[in-house]
Structure 1
């Protein structure tokens, strides 16, 4: 199963996330651990996406999300 790469704006920062599965399915959010990225969840997301919509965000300052100057 393939994914889409998306961005959303939150508190003035661009947050990157990947989205797997059908939009009408129940949603699971798979958030990575400290110092990692949302792409760490690819294998899990691919497996779950046959049944769920899976969203894998990059925390601010990680992966493709915008860094915070704070």
Structure 2
């Protein structure tokens, strides 16, 4: 699961990852990150990881595609 946390800065995205991560979990986060990058060019990402159990292949694939696009 990925939870969006609040942020006091418009160019910052704060999230918490825990439990099992799937490709479906990444969709709203990738959309939010893409929108912020379009608006601010460079952004800050704050990520808390708590008791991460399993990351499914679909989640890894979406993360990898995002990372390559914004390398």
Taking structure 1 as the reference length, what is the TM-score of the superposition? 0.30
TM-score, normalised relative to structure 2: 0.30
